[in-house]
A and B are shown apart, each in its own frame.
Chain A
Amino acid sequence: ETGVTQSPTHLIKTRGQQVTLRCSSQSGHNTVSWYQQALGQGPQFIFQYYREEENGRGNFPPRFSGLQFPNYSSELNVNALELDDSALYLCASSSQSTRGMNTEAFFGQGTRLTVV
Chain B
Amino acid sequence: AQSVAQPEDQVNVAEGNPLTVKCTYSVSGNPYLFWYVQYPNRGLQFLLKYITGDNLVKGSYGFEAEFNKSQTSFHLKKPSALVSDSALYFCAVRDWDAGNMLTFGGGTRLMVKP
B-side contacts of A108, CB under 8 Å? 43
B61-114, CB < 8 A from A: 90, 92, 94, 96, 99-107
> Range of interface residues on chain A?
20 to 34
> Within 8 Å of chain B (Cβ to Cβ): is A73?
no
> Within 8 Å of chain B (Cβ to Cβ): is A30?
no
How long is the Cα–Cα vector from A4 to B102 in the complex, in angstroms? 17
The answer to whether B100 and A101 have CB atoms under 8 Å apart is: yes
Residues of A contacting B: mostly: strand
> Within 8 Å of chain B (Cβ to Cβ): is A7?
no
> Within 8 Å of chain A (Cβ to Cβ): is B17?
no
Q: Mark B21-46, 1 if CB is under 8 A from A, else 0.
A: 00000000000001010000111111
The answer to whether B43 and A90 have CB atoms under 8 Å apart is: yes
The answer to whether A107 and B101 have CB atoms under 8 Å apart is: no
The answer to whether B46 and A42 have CB atoms under 8 Å apart is: no
